[in-house]
Amino acid sequence: MRTARWAYQGTPVRVTVTDPTTMIGARRLVMAELAKINRVCGRGRSDTELAQVHRATGQPTPVSPPLGGLMSAALSAAELTDGDVDPTIGAALLRLRLRRPWLSGGDAASTDRALPAGSAHAPGPTDLPRPAAPADTARPAGPVAGWRSVILHEGCLTVPPAVVLDLGAIVPAYAAQRCADLLISRYDGGALVGVGRCAATAGAIPADGWPVSVDTERIMLAGGALATSSGLDRNPPGFGIVDPRTGLPPAPLWAGVSVAAATCVAAKALSMAAVLRGYDAVSWLESLGVAARLVTVDGIRKSVGAGLERPGLWPAWHPASTLTPVRRRHS
């Protein structure tokens, strides 16, 4: 195997291929694809295709295959998580950034490092700390429009007036998966592509699996994808996690949630939703039959999935199509 690492606009990128002779071409392909995605929906740019959709003020707008693919992934993530991962949170994020400019920082996370260091203790529910309330409680907030208000049909995208889409949560996962799939369509062997804290694999799986670090341990991923989200993040590509039901960040219970799934978009969506679901995250992930590791802000670790209490081979399991949404319990 051979690995190349670099940063794209501050986001760590990793490419690993089983055939070292393909690395030059693989790196060029990934760099070109990331640039294409940035032209489609790069945050802070007024010349993107997504910006043109916003300027259409509710009218159906033909979109290119790249933006159509991104929107399809974003809407699938919303459906999978019962609306927890919602692309219509753009206005809520803008309000938060105006009050907290430091949200606009770059991503310093490594694609090899999925979680902060934590205790090896695996607690029961009563061991989990009580999360503090979000500090930003004085600002105006409220529910977002909701992902069902966005229509993607026959190559046209319709966004209601005043609704601002933000695809930052899904872009790294989508980019990693798309690049991995493109590499395998062009080259023989297998490939792993990491963008931020999202890693996707495709093609042949090395005998010992794909090496990825989770917490302080190097695990071997047996295909599929791995993604990490944090309730403490305020400066990754997603610029923090916002609850679409309140327009506010979640209470900081989980410092890191890493989830493995068949696709990177599914893994990222589940990890973000777990951060939002707080205490319910463990039972929810267990009900889906996925493998995950969760670390609280106090360093307490919970593992979901057989055999994940120790280092080893994380399995590839259910295709995303077999995962069904589990609704949140409301107090």
pLDDT digits (tens, 9 = 90+) for 141-153: 667 888 999 999 9
Give the phi and the psi of residue 79 in degrees, each rounded to 5: -65, -45
Average pLDDT (46-73) is: 92
Give 298-305 contacts, CB < 8 A, sequence gap 24+: 298/129, 299/116, 299/117, 299/118, 299/119, 299/255, 300/118, 300/119, 300/121, 300/123, 300/127, 300/128, 300/129, 301/118, 301/119, 301/120, 301/121, 301/122, 301/123, 301/215, 302/122, 302/123, 302/128, 303/122
pLDDT digits (tens, 9 = 90+) for 230-284: 887 654 433 568 899 988 888 889 999 999 999 999 999 999 999 999 999 999 9
pLDDT of residue 289: 85
pLDDT of residue 136: 45
Report if residue 196 sits inside a domain.
Answer: yes
Instruction: Choose from 37-51, 166-180, 224-238 the range with maximum mean pLDDT.
Output: 166-180
**Please, are residues 59 and 117 in contact by the beta-carbon 8 Å criterion?**
no
Domain that holds residue 229: 2-42+60-135+165-322
Give one DSSP letter per residue of 245-260, joined into a string.
Answer: TTTBPPPS-EEEEEEE
pLDDT more than 90, % of the chain: 53
Domain containing residue 276: CATH number? 3.10.520.10
- Distance, in Å, from the CA atom of 106 to the CA atom of 227, rounded to the nearest integer, reads 18
User: Is pLDDT above 80 for 43?
Assistant: no
Q: How confident is the model at residue 156 (pLDDT cuts 50, 70, 90)?
A: very high
Average pLDDT (196-202) is: 94
Query: What are the counts of helices (DSSP H) followed by strands (DSSP E) for the chain?
Result: 7, 14
Report if residue 328 sits inside a domain.
Answer: no
Report if residue 47 sits inside a domain.
Answer: no
Report if residue 55 sits inside a domain.
Answer: no
Report if residue 160 sits inside a domain.
Answer: no
Report if residue 8 sits inside a domain.
Answer: yes
Report if residue 97 sits inside a domain.
Answer: yes
Number of domains in the chain: 1
pLDDT digits (tens, 9 = 90+) for 96-147: 775 544 333 333 333 343 322 232 333 333 344 444 444 444 445 667 888 9
Write down the pTM of the prediction: 0.82
Report if residue 124 sits inside a domain.
Answer: yes
Q: Which residues pair with 315 in a beta bridge?
A: 222
- Distance, in Å, from the CA atom of 130 to the CA atom of 278, rounded to the nearest integer, reads 10
